[in-house]
């Protein structure tokens, strides 16, 4: 499963994993918001809407479509490099957003 012929499948698995993690995180935050002990933090923020998840939805759909297209077409040339660069940029973006959220949740400004 580690050969280059499975690259498209790995991208599909990455998309599904990312989508699942975003969904799980959203559900956890929704439950945490309902707990009165967390009101001091959550009172500062409006509840999340679908608009808040647009970057994640775009990333999920793009990865999924790229993986499906590469699997169907069998073409992996320069598209593979573009997809990998996109994955690295997306991971960097998500890491930056997570670090900022973590800092806010720990009381830092």
Instruction: Report the percentage of the chain scoring pLDDT > 90.
Output: 15
Locate 37 and state its tokens: 């002990």
- Which sequence spans correspond to the domains of the chain? 4-105
d(CA 88, CA 94): 10
Band (pLDDT 50/70/90 cuts) for residue 16 is very high
CA-based end-to-end distance of the chain: 44
Query: What's the pLDDT tens digit per position in 37-64?
Result: 888 888 888 888 889 889 889 989 988 9
């Amino acid at each position: 499963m580690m050969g280059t012929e499975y690259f498209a499948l790995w991208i599909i698995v990455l998309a599904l994993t990312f989508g699942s993690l975003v969904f799980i995180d959203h559900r956890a935050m929704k439950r945490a918001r309902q707990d009165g002990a967390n009101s001091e933090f959550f009172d500062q923020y409006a509840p999340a809407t679908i608009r808040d998840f647009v970057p994640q939805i775009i990333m999920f759909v793009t990865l999924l479509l790229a993986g499906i297209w590469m699997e169907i077409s069998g073409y992996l040339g320069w598209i593979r490099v573009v997809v990998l660069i996109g994955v690295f940029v997306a991971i960097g973006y998500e890491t930056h957003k997570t670090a900022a959220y973590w800092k806010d949740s720990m009381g830092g400004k």
